[in-house]
Structure formats: structure tokens, C-alpha cells
Amino acid sequence: MNTFLGYLRQAGTAVRFLALATLVLGLLYPISVFGLGQVLAPAQANGSILKDPAGHPAASALIAQTSADDQGAQDPKWFHARPSAVKWDPASSSASNLGPNDPNLTKNIEAARKTVAAAEGTDPARVPADAVTASGSGLDPSISVAYARLQVPRVAAAHRLSDGDLLALIQRNTTSGLEAFLGQPSVNVTTLNLDLAAR
């Protein structure tokens, strides 16, 4: 009986402790961080939203944005992002979660290689790995420099721009310095396409 009462008393303490801790850790803490974020770095805290020349929110610099049809074929006019297991929908996020020896994954990769090679009018052997593999989040905004360069002739023709103009745009949207050393040189397709649209 005493033990039972002991448990009951401790359960009461636990409930009160949890309620008070929730006030501090579950409300006060995130709201304070929100306040600090809005003061110190509102742009980042609100999702690194980029505006178009007219001043309307057009994209998040961190999230893939690509125009694709229902089959997942991306608009030939613009630079393409990496394949996505969630069709680039920011309301969700996922990898394919297929194993390194998975025959279905091999099939997907081979199909993607054909599609990309056909779209860019190039030899399938020249298609880099990031162009045929789904990213970890499904929202990866970046591609390799090789894949960006591979897309230049197609995009240049669609926009009536010279290859040189596009290579300069790619350069502007490529990570460099320490960031490229710690990670790898990456081209942000979301900001690249926005820059292209603004021309």
C-alpha cells in the first residue's frame, strides 16, 4: 500500500514537472529562438525566400524548384534538378531508400541515364551520377558542375543565349572556397533558373 502511494505521489510530481518543463522547453524556448531569429536573421529564419524583380516571393534558395509534368519530365527550357523521390514537392521529403545492390534502383538509374542523355543530346557515358540518382531529401536544390555544363547547349538554345553567358551564370551560382572544399563544388539550380529568368 505504501509502495502504491509512493508511486502515485511520484506520478503526481511527474505530471506537474512535465507540465512546467513544457512551458519552459516547449513554449518559452522555441518562441525565444523565434524572436532572436526574426531580429538577427529574418531572411534565413523565414526560409531564405527569394523575390522576383517584381518583388513577389518566387522560391526558397534552399529548396529545389523545377517545372515538371505529371510523369516527372522536367521542362526543357530550364536547368534541371536531380531526380526526386517526392517529385520536388516541398510538402514532403524523402529519399528513394533503395539499397546499393537493388535491381529496381539499377533499372531506374539506367532509365534516367537514357532520358538525360536524350534530353541533352549527348553520350550516356557522359551523364554524371548526380543526374541519375535521387537525392537524400528529394528537395536537393544543387547539382554538380558537370551536370550543369551538360545542360548548357539545350538551355542556351531555348533562351537564345550564348554558351558563354550561361557558363558565367553557372559560375555565379556555384559554391566556392571553403564551402566547396568541405563539401564539393555545387550549382544551385533554383537560384540559377531565377537568375536566368531575370535576364
Partner 1 sequence: MTFNTVSFLVQVGVLILALALLHKPLGVYMTGVFTGTTNARPERLFYRLAGVDADADQKWSIYLRSVLVFSAVSILVVFGLQRLQGVLPGNNGLAGVDPWVAMNTAISFVTNTNWQTYVPEATVGIVVQMCLLAVQNFLSAAVGVVVVLALIRGITRTRTDRLGNFWVDLARTSFRLLLPLAVLAAVTMVLGGVVQNFWATDVVNQATGVQQSIPGGPVASQEAIKILGTNGGGYFNANSAHPFENPSVFISLFQVFLLLLIPSALPYTYGRMVGDQRQGYTIAAVMGTLWLASTVLMGWGVAAAQGSATAAAGGLGEGFEQRFGGAPSAIYAAATTLTSTGAVNVAHDSLPPLAGGTAMLNMMLGEVAPGGTGSGLYGMLILAIIAVFIAGLMVGRTPEFLGKRIGPREMKLAAMYILVTPALVLALTGLTVLVPEQVANAPSSGPHKFSEILYAFTSGANNNGSAFGGITTSGPYLSALLGVAMLLGRFLPIVLVLALAGSLAQQRRIPQSSGTVPTHGWLFGSLLLAVTVILTALSYFPALALGPLAEGLIR
Subset of residues 162 to 181 that bind partner 1, contact rule: CB under 8 A = 175, 179, 181
* Pairwise CA distance, residues 21 & 155, whole Å: 55
By CB under 8 A, residue 192 contacts partner 1 = no
Q: Closest approach of Cβ 19 to partner 1, in Å?
A: 8
Phi-psi domain of 49 (left: phi exceeds 0; alpha: psi -120 through 50; beta: other): beta
Site string for partner 1, 35-54 (x = CB under 8 A): -xxx-xx--xxxxxx--x-x
Are 175 and 135 spatial neighbours (Cβ–Cβ below 8 Å)? no
* Residue 151 binding partner 1, by CB under 8 A: no
> From the list 73, 118, 129, 158, which residue makes contact with partner 1 (rule: CB under 8 A)?
129
Nearer to partner 1, 79 or 152 (CB): 79
**Residue 89, helix vs strand vs coil:** coil
Q: Does 155 bind partner 1 (CB under 8 A)?
A: no
110 binding partner 1? (CB under 8 A)? yes
Closest CA to 82 of 133, 119, 27, 155: 133
> Using alpha carbons only, how large is the chain's radius of gyration in Å?
24
Quick one: how many helices (H) and strands (E) in the chain? 9, 4
For residue 156, state whether it binds partner 1 (rule: CB under 8 A).
no
Least CB distance to partner 1 at residue 118 (A): 17
Of 34-42, 114-122, 150-158, 164-172, the segment contacting partner 1 by CB under 8 A is: 34-42
- Of 179, 199, 171, 198, the closest CA to residue 58 belongs to 198
Q: Is 73 an interacting residue with respect to partner 1 (CB under 8 A)?
A: no
Asked if residue 105 binds partner 1 (CB under 8 A), the reply is: yes
